[in-house]
Structure 1
């Protein structure tokens, strides 16, 4: 934990109103990076772009995923957040597109925010020096003398961009709803070439597809398989998650495939501290506790004051707005440029969502209060 956060936790415990709200504390020690070399190595243009992004070597789980995909296997990668899982699909997909310009890849994300985040990362892998336009859905950056076109295809995509994406995009970023309602039903009219040339299907955030929603998506994936077989393609699947306890079993049920599971991360990890905060009891007879909303607002404000970039998740849109308003009230004595916080939820214009995502990724925001619409 950073020194300023250690001081903050100590201040919480020393406060006159502290009554043992921190009911559990767990420390996960730091871990060193482990690297592996690919044989044969990635194409030189991809290596050069990685170096431009400050990446000189691949972690063991990244190299293992690429090796298995080169062998024609399906894979499921389950490593912690910020371990570079996305490179396990970006790099093999781009390697294939460089060798075969007609190849196609389908990226599935459960939220629009995730699709936009990976669109930004994909653009950087193709051309690290080109500026990424947050407001565009269709992109065609250059890698050497080749343009690799890709685009997000969802409910926010304008009609003119949809036509360009369908006809030229090598990589399509979308979500299961759009796949089910807008793409699969129109396969014979609009997507014939795409499905005939489909080489990869990426399923990110695998853990989201559980319960009733997971059952629906499993049926969508079966429809996708039938359509691919009709057009003579058999794509490889690349699944990723940070929180799946049984990745091989779960992905097998979802996809009716038997992917190779990669669960050991080679990425370095900083020391992490987990604190579980329980609102204090206000009435022992009734077992009533203090408002979790008020406790959340107080913690959020304290963290922002301490300079810690913070994300607060809430279940409902009205709760997001209440947390924002009450937290801003608590931070009135601080200059706005030192406590910039914003809400993020469903119902915003695409341009507004893109702006918040950009500000968050660039560090311009000190905090965000959001629903699960934001899963960056």
Structure 2
């Protein structure tokens, strides 16, 4: 079906399950076109380098079968750092495998006219040669492949939205005779694929989905094992579960997913301790476990060892979530419940490809409290829609500046596209104005405005960081790169225990150098550490006062500034039960400070019960938990502030004690917390119902005390009645707890007895299916 649609000239999105042959559908027509059009070129975009590494050999084998020279299929990404080497690769390339980052920071940067200006950093002739080859390549671009298209949401997706339209515009400018660009996208987990791709690329798409998927499927059993929260010793539960599974069968292979780099390292080290010091030697000597995450410099070696069976399994972040082909994995684990159904299905799709597989979610029973207390109900949910935020000012500024450099506004090249061209409706005028310097918001500028192509499209408002290991002789060597300053502040703050390649280090110093954060670490025995954080926010209110009881308002990009300070570190030595606080000021260590313009929702409650600091903290955290669960937002992207809140109204600023601010931690803001302003009453209702259910804490987390939840719901009903469901009323009858309790116990008893929950389904067109059970 897919090949037929492509043969008819349509753009196509293939939305079928993992290992269903999606790659063949976009490889065959692309290579056929290159074989029959000697000058044509193509780009295959992969969201991460590891996936491009995994796929390049497949492309080359297919190219050889199609009569093409495999040397014309090449990968250009951050692993190829030398600019001359990149140019030489591009000169011989027909199909380039690239990440969005290298397209933004290199390909599009060298697509701009030179205007006779001598570059400051590179030889003029080399720059001209690179520009010539880049422009030649883009002028012949016929096919654009977008693999793992579901990853293009949030900040990265919004960057790619602008990037894809700039790429098409540059191609249009360079072509002697315009021909439509052919696009093929693929993803196993994508909501409303045609609409998402049309928004992302500005082109119409046809869809091939599971209705046309006849590929065989082995049975996959999905199970829930009761464990602790990931950061509350849950990683120890993961270690125990992995050991039990691999000890049952010495030939069994596994993959364990965690949502934190340091937890991946801790889990791997607990399964098998490192016997060497260097990353390379640790990989060679590992047999039962290895961590896999960004920042490791030998990830390709780990992939090869896993394929060859030299390593039985890995503890991985989302870096191994996408279509890297490890066909013989039999068991998968997930520590905690991911923030999206799409993510858990991607991860479960890594196992059981060639034979029946088993995927185990290790989480407290309360993890499913927003999903009918049921793994089956959670699994049956549809995949969440991708979110794009073209109004983010940091992102918009970056791409407007890039477009101004790429396009000659004085007429030597074609003008910026007219509103009739295929751009999303809200973009052409905005981009045109910013490219010309109109309505530019300098307070949201990131990086060097004269070199906007160098801005990081993973986190536009964040700088980069390097972690250097201090060797016994005092010299330093690179321990890890590919870390943003925000990630470093979370994991590698001063005095923290930092894990890398299953080894533990103590962070000794932070310093800023040339726009980059340089961090030094020294090998040391592990201990438990956690940062001591102070935070606050300044919000500018514009809406009229809602009520004498309080105020609820969402603050857009220019009206919220949040800050965080890491002022110390709590330390617990091995074997100790008590934590010891170390304050940086007393030790002469500079604090780690982050300031961020963002979007936020502010809640001001002028009632006595909200005067208590702990109550405000609990309410802020509870609202964050409910929002992230219901809206499929990653908790790491949301922060809360319950003190140090400055409110500006009518030009006057004052500190407000009875206030909380919920803000998102992406530079410029993505508007994520608007969900709180729109749904406060519904969230309060959910929190009240949870608080009133007489279920032990081991099974359900009472996010708020019942009196606090009732007060919050009463306040929301009075101040923001539009956020309540129409059928809701402020008066709530007592919950029939005994009935709920008996139903819950019966449900888990049934799971333990027959190992299956009602509602499990077999996938159409497959030989296997999904079984949902408790473990």
- Whether these two folds match at TM > 0.5 is yes
Counterpart in 2 of 1:237?
183
Is 1:198–1:234's contact at 8 Å kept on the other side of the alignment?
A: no
Aligned partners of 2:105, 2:81: CA distance in 1, in Å? 16
Q: Is the 8 A contact 2:235 2:267 kept in 1?
A: yes
CA displacement, residues 270-303 of structure 1 (integer Å, 9 cap, x when unaligned): 111111233169xxxxxx9973211111122223
Q: 1:267: which partner in 2?
A: 215
Task: Tell me the residue number matched to 1:252.
Answer: 198
Structure with the bigger percentage of helix: 1
Q: Which residue of 1 aligns with 2:146?
A: 203
**SS of corresponding position for 2:263:** helix
Residue deviations 1:121-174, cap 9 Å, x none?
A: 21232348xxxxxxxxxxxxxx65845512111111143541222111011111
Structure 2 vs 1, CA of residues 340 and 125 (structure 1 numbering), >3 Å: closer, same or farther? Answer: farther
Contact kept? 1:303, 1:309, Cα under 8 Å: no
Rg larger for: 2
Q: In the alignment, what sits opposite 1:18? A: none
Greater shift in the superposed pair: 231-240 or 192-201: 231-240
Task: State the 1:249 CA deviation.
Answer: 1.3
Structure 2 residue corresponding to 1:365, chosen from 311, 323, 327:
311
- Are the structure 2 counterparts of residues 246 and 145 from structure 1 closer, same or farther at C-alpha, using a change threshold of 3 Å? closer
For this pair of structures, how many residues does the alignment match? 286
Q: Secondary structure at the match of 1:320?
A: helix
**What is the TM-score with the length of structure 2 in the denominator?**
0.35
Kept after mapping to 2: 8 A contact 1:279/1:289 = no
The residue that corresponds to 1:320 in the other structure is 264
In the alignment, is residue 348 of structure 1 matched against residue 290 of structure 2? Answer: no
Q: CA deviation at 1:181?
A: 1.3
2:290 touches 2:311 (CA, 8 Å); kept in 1?
Answer: yes
Q: 1:280 to 1:231 in 2, by over 3 A?
A: closer
The SS at the match of 1:326 is: helix
Q: Select 1:297's aligned residue among 239, 245, 270.
A: 239
Structure 1 counterpart of 2:225: 277
Shift of 1:65: 1.8
- 1:101 offset after TM fit, Å? 2.3
Q: CA deviation at 1:185?
A: 1.8
Cα 1:72/1:145, change in 2 over 3 Å: closer
Instruction: Compute the displacement of 1:79 (Å).
Output: 0.8
Bigger RCO of structures 1 and 2 (CA < 8 A, at least 6 apart): 1
Mapping 1:113-262, distance limit 5 Å: 113-127=50-64, 144=67, 146-159=69-82, 160-188=84-112, 189=131, 190-232=133-175, 233-262=179-208
Q: Check whether the contact 1:320–1:371 (CA below 8 A) recurs between aligned residues.
A: yes
**Residue 100 (structure 1) shift:** 1.5
SS, match of residue 318 in structure 2: coil
Kindly tell me: are residues 173 and 269 of structure 1, through their superposed partners in 2, closer, same or farther at Cα, counting changes over 3 Å? same
| TM-score between the two structures when normalised by the length of structure 1 | 0.70
Structure 1 residues 96, 145: closer, same or farther in 2, change over 3 A? closer
Q: Could you report, residue by residue, the CA deviation over 1:189-234 in whole angstroms, capped at 9, with x for unpaired residues? A: 2411111111111111111111222111101111111111112353
Cα RMSD over matched residues? Answer: 2.5
Distance (whole Å) between structure 1 residues aligned to residue 220 and residue 96 of structure 2? 35
Q: Greater strand percent: which structure?
A: 2
